[in-house]
């Protein structure tokens, strides 16, 4: 007869506690489905407006590019025709003068590798300015938008180089490199602003073609069959394919609703405890699936109900990736609903 000491007994009990998890382990898996669609504007323009002109006012070095090239590349609104003059919409993007505004000396004790000890280090904190104003008006003079455009703060406020161990060395380095440095910052600033403006114009007024990969949750476990969830995913694939091809709404809703019914039936199994085929984590993400499907059918209140139930299940142990999906979905519901409602009386497509 075997005898075990107290430490061995504790270890054996620990292994026995793991057996249920090893035998009935379930986890969430994800499949991706692609969709292409036309994003609706937040502020749809009058149906009479079909064209626009864009004017870029900027003085830039040849190394960065030509204003006309930047204008054609960034200042455009999808869904409308760009003309040189006489547009139904006029976009003005005016860059002021890029300049060094201030530099402050920073001092700290830093480790000098060569000396093998801490030494007093010196660094400049740089502050530049580059005022930019975006204005959007209609051809008959009605102002729709006027605002300053600012990029990430670290483009204009940044530390110069690495620590130097004398102010003289720091000044010499700054005088030698500031021209190249400021040119690089200016180029980065210009591209950041132009990208922001392009996204803002299309987000506010345009009809950009979007392409996304949507995550759909399923389950996996050695002792369980999840064929029903695979079938539900097939329905979502058909629904998103119909959305991409702009097929009839009835077919899209039919496929999404078939998937939702399957997920709802599976969710009912989650009451069976730890050995249930549908674990709490799988249930939470099936609720996420139901939210996604209702969002794409523009059933916003229903989507919020499912999302609220899914979010209520989040704990400290919930994977950060799943929490991020729920957070992103909440933002998507708000944005999509705003666009949908704004376009009910002004739909162009």
Residue 161 confidence (pLDDT): 86
What is the pLDDT, as a whole number, of residue 18? 46
* 335 and 236 inside one domain: yes
- Which structural domain range is residue 296 located in? 23-38+209-342
Alpha-carbon dihedral of residues 40, 43, 48, 50, nearest 10 degrees? -60
Q: Rounded mean pLDDT of 164-179? A: 94
Residues 256, 125 share a domain:
no
Residue 277 backbone phi and psi in degrees, to 5: -60, -35
Whether 244 is covered by a domain: the verdict is: yes
Residue 125 lies in a domain: yes
**Rounded CA gap, 82 and 286, in Å?**
45
Using CB atoms within 10 Å of the CB of residue 254, give its burial: 0 to 12 exposed, 13 to 18 middle, 19+ buried: middle
Determine the longest span between alpha carbons in the chain, in angstroms: 99
76 and 173 in a single domain? The answer is yes
User: Could you tell me if 199 and 130 lie in one domain?
Assistant: yes
Question: Where does a domain end: 157, 178, 204?
Answer: 204
Q: Does the residue 229 lie in any domain? A: yes
- What pLDDT is stored for residue 349 in this prediction? 44
Same domain, 291 and 274: yes
| 309: in domain | yes
Q: Which of 66-75, 136-145, 271-280 has the lowest mean pLDDT?
A: 271-280
Rounded percentage of the chain residues whose pLDDT exceeds 70: 91
Please say whether the dihedral angle defined by the alpha carbons of residues 194, 200, 201 and 206, taken in this order, is positive or negative: positive
Distance CA 163, CA 169 (A): 10
* 13 falls within a domain: no
The answer to whether residue 112 is domain-embedded is: yes
Is the model's pLDDT at 123 over the cut of 60? yes
**Domain containing residue 142: CATH number:** 3.30.160
Dump pLDDT digits (tens) for 265-280.
999 998 766 678 999 9
State the total domains in the chain: 2
List Cβ neighbours of 202 (8 Å cut-off, separation of 6 or more): 39, 41, 77, 78, 208
Tell me what the mean pLDDT of segment 151-172 comes to. Answer: 89
Instruction: Answer whether residue 43 is part of any domain.
Output: no
Boundary (domain end) residue, out of 158, 184, 204: 204
Closest CA to 98 of 60, 148, 57, 71: 60
Residue with the bigger pLDDT between 202 and 12: it is: 202
Average pLDDT, the chain: 90
* Mean pLDDT of the region 233-255: 94
* CA 120/CA 183 separation, integer angstroms: 30
- My answer on whether 222 and 186 are in the same domain is no
CATH code of residue 280: 1.25.40
- Let me know if 266 is exposed, middle or buried by CB neighbors in 10 A (0-12, 13-18, 19+): buried
How confident is the model at residue 307, as a pLDDT? 98
Domain shared by 197 and 57, yes or no: yes
User: How far from 35 is each of 93, 232, 254, CA to CA, in Å?
Assistant: 33, 17, 17
- Residue 288, classified by CB atoms within 10 Å of its CB into exposed (0-12), middle (13-18) or buried (19+), is buried
Mean pLDDT of 151-156: 80
CA-CA distance, 148 to 133, in Å (whole number)?
4
Q: Name the DSSP class of 88.
A: S
Return the higher-pLDDT residue of 91 and 27.
91
Q: What is the mean pLDDT of residues 305-314?
A: 97
3-state secondary structure 260-285: HHHHHHHHHHHHHCCCCCCCHHHHHH
Residue 46: its pLDDT value, please? 92
**Bigger pLDDT: 23 vs 123:** 123
Of the listed ranges 255-259, 268-272, 302-306, the least confidently predicted one is 268-272
Do 198 and 215 lie in one domain? The reply is no
Higher pLDDT, 125 or 276: 125
Q: Is the pLDDT of residue 93 over 50?
A: yes
Identify whether residues 327 and 216 lie together within a single domain.
Answer: yes
- Same domain as 117, residue 218: no
DSSP element (H, E) containing 117 = strand 117-129
pLDDT value of position 54: 97
CA distance linking residue 253 with residue 51, whole number of Å: 35
Confidence of residue 115 (pLDDT cuts 50, 70, 90): confident
Q: Give yes or no for residue 22 having a pLDDT over 50.
A: no
Which residue, 146, 170, 204, sits at the end of a domain? 204
pLDDT score for 111 = 87
pLDDT given for residue 263 in this prediction? 98
Q: Are residues 124 and 139 in the same domain?
A: yes
Position 19 scores a pLDDT of 44
């Amino acid at each position: 007869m075997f005898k075990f000491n107290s430490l061995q007994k504790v270890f054996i009990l620990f292994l026995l506690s793991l057996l249920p998890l090893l035998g009935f382990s379930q986890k969430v898996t994800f499949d991706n489905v692609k969709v292409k669609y036309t994003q609706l504007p937040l502020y749809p323009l009058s149906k009479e407006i079909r064209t626009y002109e864009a004017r870029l006012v900027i003085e830039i070095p040849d190394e960065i590019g030509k204003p006309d090239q930047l204008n054609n590349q960034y200042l455009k609104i999808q869904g409308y025709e760009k003309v040189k003059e006489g547009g139904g919409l006029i976009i003005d993007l005016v860059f002021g003068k890029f300049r060094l505004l201030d530099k402050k000396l920073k001092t700290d004790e830093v480790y000098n590798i060569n000396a093998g000890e801490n030494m007093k280090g010196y660094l400049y904190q740089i502050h530049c300015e580059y005022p930019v104003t975006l204005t959007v008006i209609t051809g008959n003079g009605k102002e729709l938008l006027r605002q300053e455009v600012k990029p990430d703060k670290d483009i204009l406020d940044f530390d110069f180089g690495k620590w130097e161990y004398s102010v003289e060395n720091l000044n010499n380095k700054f005088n030698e490199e500031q021209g190249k440095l400021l040119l690089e910052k200016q180029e980065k600033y210009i591209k950041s602003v132009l990208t922001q403006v392009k996204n803002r114009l299309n987000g506010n007024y345009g009809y950009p073609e979007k392409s996304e990969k949507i995550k759909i949750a399923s389950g996996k476990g050695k002792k369980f069959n999840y064929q029903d969830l695979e079938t539900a995913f097939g329905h979502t694939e058909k629904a998103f394919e119909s959305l991409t091809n702009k097929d009839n709404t009835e077919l899209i809703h039919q496929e999404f609703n078939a998937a939702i019914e399957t997920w709802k039936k599976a969710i009912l199994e989650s009451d069976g405890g730890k050995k249930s085929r549908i674990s709490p984590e799988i249930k939470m993400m099936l609720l996420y699936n139901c939210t996604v499907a209702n969002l794409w059918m523009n059933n916003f209140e229903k989507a919020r109900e499912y999302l609220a139930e899914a979010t209520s299940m989040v704990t400290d142990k919930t994977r950060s990736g799943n929490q991020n999906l729920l957070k992103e979905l909440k933002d998507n519901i708000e944005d999509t609903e705003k666009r949908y409602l704004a376009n009910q009386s002004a739909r162009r497509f």
